[in-house]
Chain A
Amino acid sequence: MPAFTPPPLPSDDKRWKIVNGTMRKNGFARHALIETLHTVQSSFGYLDDEAIRFVARSLRVPLSQAYGVVTFYHYFSLKPPGKHTVTICAGTACYIKGADKLVAAAEKRLGIPQGQTTQDGKISLMTARCVGACSRAPVVLRDGEVMGEVTSGQVLEQLERWAVE
């Protein structure tokens, strides 16, 4: 049987080399699937079919298995994120301190349910299981930056600022 040759990189985009680097570091072993998907997501912002197909073929993981993994873990996204992301923590401490009201306010303002991005691609509204800053509940991540003891007013103000950018 001829030795296995991984498929060629999908394009000249340098980011594919970073993805390939993760796989090479792990000897193209099947168990590197999640590690590699993390690299794809941090390089490209999300995982599209082309990326999943490339990683699956390179690691010799069945396509359906790779897709099963991608969709099992909530951290992986199949769609490109908005220019800005507001993430509202939905952990217990935040819930007790009224995070659901923040989510409702943001959903109403943006006209999208949580987990989606506005039509113009400007803002993604996400919720997180818990970011571990429970003592400052309710917590909101503004493009990844932790803000504590947040009110609905503050969330709306931020969304307003992004909207007019």
Chain B
Amino acid sequence: MTIEELEQIAKSVCQENEKYDFEVNVCMDLACSSQGAQQLKDALVKAAETSGKNVHIRRTGCMGPCSSGPLVRVDPEEALYHHVNADHAEAIVNSLGGAPVPDLQCDLNEHFDKQVRVVLENAGYIDPEKIDEYIARDGYKALLTALTEMTPNGVVHRITESGLRGRGGGGYPTGLKWGTVAKASGDVKYVVCNGDEGDPGAFMDRSVMEGDPHRVIEGMALAAYAVGASKGFIYVRAEYPTAVGRLTAGLRDARRRGLLGNNICNTPFNFDIEIRLGAGAFVCGEETALLASIEGKRGTPRPRPPYPAVSGLFGKPTLINNVETYANIAPIVRNGGKWFANMGSERSKGTKVFALTGKIANTGLVEVPMGIKLREIIEVIGGGVPGGHTFKAVQTGGPSGGCIPAEMLDVGVSYDALVRLGSIMGSGGMIVMDDTSCMVNVARFFIEFCMTESCGKCIPCRAGTAQMFTLLTRFCNGSGTMDDLELLESLCSTVKEASLCGLGQTAPNPVLSTLKYFRNEYIEHIVHKRCPAGVCNIQAPVTDQKEVLA
């Protein structure tokens, strides 16, 4: 494969597309599929055949606003239709070449206007199982350019210049990590992609792996070239069978095109990737646990140093990044580090994909420039809290994050700002809660999660989260005391400071942040035996019952 050959493929895809008068794109991501997107696509194909019109009907990855699904976009008009079902197929095909179907058109201009699409630029535009469609949208151009025109060091430099930070949650500077692995001595090195998206309430990585798998593969190949690795692993949750299928197909097609394998693009660069399945352990998102799992062991973290960059998979220098980080690489190499660094805020560059869910009108995937105010994401892009309820908090960072209250919504989204608020960026789950959510119960939910996901290796996390769960349960059933609250705060401090890995060290965050912003709710549960949101099932204290009887 050469640049010329790549351009030839892109050209032939364009010529192929030009044969059609119209394009109808059907979102077939999980949310739309679960509402009959497959039947819809079949009906569209049938309707197109009957009408005799020259229509290209394409399945695509996630288009974003899942709550409006199933979604269909008609090109070249760029008309977006929402809540489409198979019965609408005929009307859509009939409208082609004329005015759009009025009943189906959705007005999501505000939703899209505030977004900037880098990671998701192909999602909704290509068939994820067609490598040539990816190539037609500048796919693999970055890899070929790097291999033929750039030194490995040059690639590392470009990533450093971009200011990209790890999108898995920690926010470690990506260029710095790459540089460390590149400098590590050893003939054998590995690159690993963390696709063990374990945060409950987050599905960005799933959508990227399913909607644009080659983006991840190209990013990993660039990383391998930069650090000097010839073998890669993608660690994917077994709960994501579609992602596994798309990646498997993607790897096969990339090998066929000579974009993986030996002597890629007639250069000395060899690289291939294997998929490894996770098996349901949140802790495997922690890098040393993930590596243990790839080695076929229990996913228990080990103390660092040594860091994986020095001693990682099978004891070799290993680069680990998450899916979204890799998805950012090709555009950075293609467009330059400065292009990327121009987006975002001072210390958090580029964009971030969030999975916006919970009590919000427009649920789905959004990609926004770093620095955007939380309020804009929730009120403008998300369309606010529906059903006449009022906003109470937004939870970011999953079980390692915290709950951010209404009065803090004017803060710009960045790694550092979210930490200052007692939460973290995390991988990008953003769950909106309204007045029907009890914050004590929410804290208990997250601690229960951490307790069941704790690997059990270190004492503070294993026994500490279990004790925190007991105390929070007491608050929720009305038997907690103020002494218990003091004990809980003391436990939070030990679990946070003394735990071995990130899971334990951040497990108290949901408790600490709700204690910081919603302490009154704890007091209500403890002192007045009342759950203000009406969620907790508190039995009325005996004295009260007597009063009622009297």
Contact = CB atoms under 8 A, between A and B. Distances in A.
> Do chains A and B make direct contact within the complex (CB under 8 angstroms)?
yes
Interface of A: 30-35, 37-38, 59, 61, 65, 68-69, 72-76, 90-97, 128-137, 139, 145-148
B538 to A, nearest CB: 16
Given A68-B298, A92-B200, A136-B66, A34 B279 contact: yes
Given A76-B280, A129-B280, A135-B357, 6 more contacts: A59-B296, A93-B363, A94-B200, A96-B358, A134-B355, A147-B34
B445 A75 contact: no
Interface stretch (B176-184, B260-268, B429-437): B429-437
Nearest to A129: B200
27 contacts: A30-B295, A31-B314, A33-B297, A34-B276, A35-B277, A73-B279, A74-B280, A91-B200, A92-B398, A92-B431, A93-B200, A93-B201, A94-B200, A95-B445, A96-B437, A96-B442, A97-B359, A129-B239, A129-B449, A130-B199, A130-B202, A130-B203, A135-B203, A136-B34, A136-B363, A147-B34, A148-B34
A75 B280 contact: yes
Nearest to B294: A31
A134 B239 contact: no
A136 B31 contact: yes
A30 B295 CA distance: 8
B66 A38 contact: no
Nearest to B446: A92
B239 A128 contact: yes
A134 B203 contact: yes
Given A92-B398, A136-B34, A146-B33, A72 B200 contact: no
B202 A134 contact: yes
Contacts of A91: 200-201
Contacts of B449: 129
Residue from A69, A90, A130, A136 whose CB has the most chain B CB atoms within 10 Å = A130
A34 B298 CA distance: 9
Contacts of A147: 34
B301 to A, nearest CB: 13
A148 B83 CA distance: 14
Contacts of B207: 132
A96 B358 CA distance: 6
A38 B238 contact: yes
B35 A38 contact: no
The 6 closest A-B pairs by CB, nearest first: A91-B200, A73-B279, A135-B66, A92-B201, A75-B280, A33-B296
A135 B67 contact: yes
Contacts of A92: 199-201, 357-358, 395, 398, 429, 431, 445-446
A8 B356 CA distance: 52
A75 B279 contact: yes
Nearest to B355: A134
A17 B35 CA distance: 38
Contact of B298 (A38, A72, A97, A137): A72
Residue from A38, A69, A72 whose CB has the most chain B CB atoms within 10 Å = A72
A120 to B, nearest CB: 26
Contacts of A68: 298
Contact of B31 (A32, A145, A148): A148
A75 B69 CA distance: 30
